[in-house]
Amino acid sequence: MSESVYKTSKHRTALLEILRTTKTHPTAAWLYERLKERFPDLSQGTVYRNLSILAELGLVRVLRSGKTFDRFDADVTPHDHMVCERCGRVDDAGISATPAGEQEAARATGYLVTSRRLDYYGICPDCQRSGDR
Ligand SMILES: [Zn+2]
Ligand SMILES: [Zn+2]
Residues in the chain: 133
What is the structure's pLDDT at 2?
A: 47
What is the structure's pLDDT at 84?
A: 92
Class assignment of domain 1-76?
Answer: mainly alpha
Can you name the CATH fold of 77-133?
A: Dna Ligase; domain 1 (3.30.1490)
Distance from residue 15's CA to the centre of ligand 2 (Å): 16
List where CATH 3.30.1490.190 sits in the chain: 77-133
List where CATH 1.10.10.10 sits in the chain: 1-76
Give the side-chain half-sphere CA count within 13 A for 16: 16
The contacts of residue 111 (CB under 8 Å, 6+ apart) are 105
Ligand number, closest to the Cα atom of 82: 2
- The alpha-helical segments, DSSP class H, found in the chain are 10-20, 28-38, 44-56, 99-109, 125-129
Residues of the chain with pLDDT under 50: 1-3
For the chain, the C-alpha Rg in angstroms (whole number) is 17
Distance from residue 28's CA to the centre of ligand 1 (Å): 19
119 φ, ψ (degrees, to nearest 5): -115, 135
What is the structure's pLDDT at 1?
A: 46
What is the structure's pLDDT at 94?
A: 85
Distance from residue 129's CA to the centre of ligand 1 (Å): 9
What is the structure's pLDDT at 93?
A: 92
Distance from residue 120's CA to the centre of ligand 2 (Å): 12
